[in-house]
Structure 1
Amino acid sequence: MPVKFSRSKNTIHRITMQSKHGTSVSNRANDNRRRTCCGLSRIKTLKVLGTFLVPLVIGIFTIATTIQQYEINKQNRLKDWEIAARQRAQELKQADILQQETVYAVYVKEMGELLSKLKTKNVSNTELDQQWKLARAKTLSALRQLDTKRKSYIIQFLYETELLFTNSSAIDLSGSDLSGIILTDHVGMAFMFDYITLTYVVLSNTSFVNLHLTKADFSGSLLNNANFSNAYLFQVNFTECDLTNADLRAVHAEFAIMKNVNLSGAIFGKVPPAEIKNAILPNGSYVFYSKDNLQSDLFNESTNLITNGDAICQTNKNSTEIFGWVVRHEPVAIVTKYSELPSLITGNISIDDCVFWGGTRNNSIGYLHQRVFFFDYSRLIDSGRALYEFSFDTGGINEYNDYVYLTMQFRAASGQSLRSTGFPPITNIQRKNRSILCYQLLYGPVPLGTHSVLINIWFDKTSDSPFNNGLIDNIKFYIKQMKTTDEHLEHIYKKACP
């Protein structure tokens, strides 16, 4: 029994050792399998990867180096271009300066030669006129080529040679752009430019600081953002000027002539202009006429702008000339007293008053014509706040179907029609065959840009009466100011017969 136990024990030990050895071999085999990739050992795999990675790294490095070099070259080229551009700009600037100096020098030389001819008294008017035109042409040509500094020199040259004086012959610079010129460059010194004339030119952003400008004339010029601070503006003429945002804190600016001006945003000193007409004020409001430093406005909305709209009686009642009216083509009407037309006399008509009557004119193609200009209302009209009111009395006598026909046309300064209106005639049917005058009224906004209104009156005869019995009286045209921005946006027509 003991022997059997010993053999059995040895057998178990041997089996155990064999099992461990087999497990170790199996583990080594598995480990070897784990240390291979795609059938290659780790070392071989690393060698294969090294074969590919080295060229790849070299390629990437080469590409990166190439890109970097390209960027460096690009930056260098840009710097070269910038240097070349600066040099080119500098060359162009120098060439421009040289060109402008040449233009200025040639202009002064040629004007110096012309000056003696312009001032001589032994030249015919025709030749003198030609010399002035030549001087204007040379001046305008030079101004178009020069910068603001040299433009300032030219203005000073012309003034000093007495070619820009309001009280003598002056070169016409109208239409020139003199924006930004500076006529003073010494702080604290007052330069004398009394009586200088710079009319109908562009003077935006121009400096007149410290200038002495007694009775200077800037009529019609654009002076927005101009600086007149500490300037002497006694009786300076700013008629029809645009002074938007101008600095007018000047000496004696209150005595400047301010008529038909735009002063929106302008700055005054302690005392505003003593007298100002037809202007847009700094706060955007409108003034028709103030002569007390803007303390009051004399705007009278009851001023009839029609000349002789009430048919002023004439000594010669058969005269074909009618005061205030132009007769077109042939005589068309006469002015007669109501006493000559007794059937017309009513409680509100005086027998001593007169009326426009067709009279003995038959089948006339002529008409009465009157044009009313709006110079004194231009700023109000251009601001879009002007209203018009046009009215008249028209009719006829008894059953005769003769009538008066009116047209009204708003016109721009160029003559372009902005709005036209024809008024329907009052027929004998509408009058119920009565001898009466019917009231007609049209009112609404004045079109922007309106310069004048044209009134035409026709006397049409259609009856078998020996007379043309068309009648018209009390023709009135008023300009009024809108109280609110949305007032009377439409044109409204009214008619009333007794």
Structure 2
Amino acid sequence: MVCLNRDTQISSQSSFFYLQLKDIFKILGVLLVPLTLGVATTLLSIQQTKLNQKNRENDIDIAQKQRQQDVFLAVQAEKERILATYLQDLATLLLDKNIIFDKNSAVSSIVRAKTLTTLIQMDAPRKRQVILFLYEAKLIKRNSKYALINLFDADLDNLDMSLSESKIKHYKTYEKIDIQLRGASLVNSSFKWRHLDFSDFSQADLKDTNFQYADLSNVDFSYAHLSNTDFRMANVSKAMFVYANLSNSSITDEQLSTALTLQGAILPNHATAPVENLIMNGDAEQRCSNNHAVFLLNWTLTNGSISAVWRPQSKTELNSKCSFSSLSHHDISAMHQTVDLNDYVDWLFNGRTLYGFQITLSGTRNGKHYVIINLRHRSSDGKILENITICREYETK
């Protein structure tokens, strides 16, 4: 048996350990190569998958946008076809001398139906084209020789008839139109910078409409819905706002003071404008007392005797209004008053006036009584233009 000394044993052990580490590193080196390749391959595969997914999403998005574009173009082409057909059909009717075109004819009803059907299918720019065509053809122009097409309930929402400030500076007369849009729906429309003198917007729905800088003098807004409407810098001189809804609109008190009438209108602060009485001293109680009868100023007595007297309906009724009373028990009493309607002359000649009377009739003796109201429209030279007589009979017991 051979025994190794201590130095020989240590040297052998170091060599053994050295060989083991070397072999281990070789093994690890051999193993790391395929592992690295595997990880790299996996990462590349994941990246490629994400890229492919993104490409597919892009392809789907492009396809969807293309379909939307195709649908949009198809819709626009259809609208353009409908508009072209409408314009061609109306042009044919207008140029046909054998067709009678008046408001009571079947042609007028057909044109109205065709117009309303076409407008429903139009966008805002094409609605503008339709309105300009009808206006230039004098079919919705006020006081034209043709019968007006009735656009009541027509869908004209978002209609943009506004003009740019630059265009107004260069074309001073281009913006002036007197248009008939009575009863149409014009929500969120714009007539900015337009001259709309004597146009008719009565009973129209004009919520959120823009009338900035527009000339609205003598425009009829009777019974129109004008809430949230923009009237900044607009001229409303002699405009009619009879029973119009102006709630939350931007119209000012200064502007309203120039209007022709606000009778019964809902004002921007939600208050209701009083009913205006054109007859001077029409409220008899203003000059009447319970002590004696007086005859009112501004009236001309032509027969009999008439006074404003305080006549309570009962002993407990202390605040009764006074009234006109005939003091001639056997003769007819008559009086008259001249009312200046110069500011209303355009409305009178265009048939845009209504007469309103609120009368309480009573008597002190048994028998029949009569009240006759006679309205005479006279020209400035005194010529009678119109004569209206209203007769009411009542009986007291």
CA distance change for structure 1 residues 253 and 111 in 2, over 3 Å: closer, same or farther? same
Quick one: distance in 2 between partners of 1:74 and 1:45?
A: 43
CA distance change for structure 1 residues 214 and 119 in 2, over 3 Å: closer, same or farther? farther
Aligned partner letter, 1:262: N
Quick one: distance in 2 between partners of 1:83 and 1:122?
A: 52
CA distance change for structure 1 residues 124 and 95 in 2, over 3 Å: closer, same or farther? closer
1:57 corresponds to which of 36, 40, 56: 36
Residues 395-445 of structure 1, C-alpha deviation per residue, up to 9 Å, x if partnerless?
Answer: xxxxxxxxxxxxxxxxxxxxxxxxxxxxxxxxxxxxxxxxxxxxxxxxxxx
CA distance change for structure 1 residues 272 and 122 in 2, over 3 Å: closer, same or farther? closer
> Where in structure 2 are the equivalents of 1:89-100 lying within 5 Å?
89-100=68-79
Aligned partner letter, 1:170: L
Quick one: distance in 2 between partners of 1:61 and 1:202?
A: 68
CA distance change for structure 1 residues 265 and 102 in 2, over 3 Å: closer, same or farther? same
Give, in angstroms, the shift of residue 49 of structure 1: 3.3
Give, in angstroms, the shift of residue 154 of structure 1: 0.4
Aligned partner letter, 1:174: F
Counterpart position of 1:142: 118
Does 1:289 pair with 2:274? Answer: yes
Regions of 4+ moved over 6 Å: none
CA distance change for structure 1 residues 278 and 28 in 2, over 3 Å: closer, same or farther? farther
CA contact (8 A) 1:118 1:132 kept: no
Give, in angstroms, the shift of residue 83 of structure 1: 4.1
Counterpart position of 1:152: 128
Quick one: distance in 2 between partners of 1:240 and 1:122?
A: 29
Does 1:217 pair with 2:200? Answer: yes
Quick one: distance in 1 between partners of 2:182 and 2:238?
A: 19
CA contact (8 A) 1:255 1:273 kept: no
Unaligned runs of 5+ in 1: 1-17, 293-297, 299-345, 350-498
Aligned-pair identity (%)? 31
Give, in angstroms, the shift of residue 114 of structure 1: 2.9
Give, in angstroms, the shift of residue 67 of structure 1: 2.0
Quick one: distance in 1 between partners of 2:206 and 2:116?
A: 19
Aligned partner letter, 2:267: L
Quick one: distance in 1 between partners of 2:221 and 2:103?
A: 34
Quick one: distance in 2 between partners of 1:124 and 1:228?
A: 30
Q: Which has the higher contact order (CA 8 A, sep 6+)?
A: 1
Which of these two proteins has the greater Rg computed from alpha carbons? 1
What SS does the corresponding residue of 1:248 show, helix, strand or coil? coil
Structure ranking higher in strand proportion: 1
RMSD (Å), alpha carbons: 3.8
Quick one: distance in 2 between partners of 1:235 and 1:84?
A: 55
CA contact (8 A) 1:156 1:183 kept: no
Residues 332-365 of structure 1, C-alpha deviation per residue, up to 9 Å, x if partnerless?
Answer: xxxxxxxxxxxxxx9759xxxxxxxxxxxxxxxx
CA contact (8 A) 2:142 2:180 kept: yes
Give, in angstroms, the shift of residue 145 of structure 1: 1.7
CA distance change for structure 1 residues 138 and 28 in 2, over 3 Å: closer, same or farther? same
> Where in structure 2 are the equivalents of 1:125-274 lying within 5 Å?
128=105, 130-167=106-143, 169-185=147-163, 187-188=167-168, 189-190=172-173, 191-194=175-178, 196-250=179-233, 252-268=235-251, 271-274=254-257
What SS does the corresponding residue of 2:242 show, helix, strand or coil? strand
TM-score (ref. length: structure 2): 0.57
Aligned partner letter, 1:177: D
Counterpart position of 1:45: 24
Quick one: distance in 2 between partners of 1:347 and 1:151?
A: 66
Residues 350-402 of structure 1, C-alpha deviation per residue, up to 9 Å, x if partnerless?
Answer: xxxxxxxxxxxxxxxxxxxxxxxxxxxxxxxxxxxxxxxxxxxxxxxxxxxxx
Aligned partner letter, 1:68: Q
Count of paired positions: 269
Aligned partner letter, 1:201: A
